[in-house]
Structure 1
Amino acid sequence: MAESLPARTLSVTIRRDWREVYDFACQPLNFPRWASGLAESLREAGDHWVAAAPEGEARVWFSPHNDQGVLDHRVELPGGLLLYIPLRVIANGDGAEVMLTLFRQPGVDDEAFARDAQWVLKDLQALKLLLEKGR
């Protein structure tokens, strides 16, 4: 059996209907507006998308549109490492909760994992600000 990776789930509450949040966030071309890890270079390339990465181009596969608020995506880094990024939008009263689970990859120390978590929180806050201010 494969060993599990340590994980941390980070979330933000957005004062918009969860379906509105999902409808905005599920569009790959909107990711660069709030997800700084997917640079403005994001472009469609057949069954996947391509984003500029410091080491070259990363390939990204997004979940198909669905009614459950699932925004999971997989990112293949230039060196071949494949990252699974679970991302969900769920109802939270009249608003939405957006949750991303960050998996700590082998060889990532405590300091780097904490930096990654801060980056995710910054991106989630950017999504919140964008959607609560009316895009």
Structure 2
Amino acid sequence: MSTPVGPARLRLRADAEFGILDHDFLDDTASRRVPARVVPNGDGAEFMITFYQPPGFSDQFFDEQIALVDTELSTLKSLLELQE
């Protein structure tokens, strides 16, 4: 994958029992962790993801990435609700 600081790899660290779905972005100069959790809520669940703006990411680029994730999660939510 490409980032503003060059190519990077994505590693997922998941543990279904504890609701962990962390994303690690690794490049030649740094690694960035994006923690995510799935928490039971009644008959469903809540998905929480935390973003920290890495050094080298402009405000504009970071905001664009957040907006992209918002769109992807909204689409996923709609698809999952169709299955109910």
Asked if the contact 2:36/2:50 (under 8 Å) is kept, the reply is: yes
Provide Cα deviations, 1:6-37, integer angstroms capped at 9, x if missing partner: xxxxxxxxxxxxxxxxxxxxxxxxxxxxxxxx
Return the structure number with greater relative CO, CA threshold 8 A, min gap 6. 1
TM score, norm. by length of structure 1: 0.49
Asked if the contact 1:98/1:124 (under 8 Å) is kept, the reply is: no
Match of 2:70 in 1: 121
Segments of 5+ residues of structure 1 without an aligned counterpart are: 1-52
Provide Cα deviations, 1:64-116, integer angstroms capped at 9, x if missing partner: 43311110121213x44312010111122322111111111123333333222
Percent identity (aligned): 36
SS of the equivalent of 1:115 reads helix
Structure 1 CA distance for aligned equivalents of residues 49 and 20 of structure 2: 10
Number of positions where the alignment pairs a residue of Structure 1 with one of Structure 2: 81
Q: Structure 1: which amino acid aligns with 2:55?
A: P
Segments of 5+ residues of structure 2 without an aligned counterpart are: none
Match of 2:57 in 1: 108
Q: Which has the higher helix share?
A: 2
Match of 2:81 in 1: 132
TM score, norm. by length of structure 2: 0.72
After TM superposition, list the pairs within 5 Å mapping 1:25-104 onto structure 2. 53-54=1-2, 58-77=8-27, 79-104=28-53
Asked if the contact 2:2/2:8 (under 8 Å) is kept, the reply is: no
Aligned-CA RMSD value = 2.4
Asked if the contact 2:8/2:25 (under 8 Å) is kept, the reply is: yes
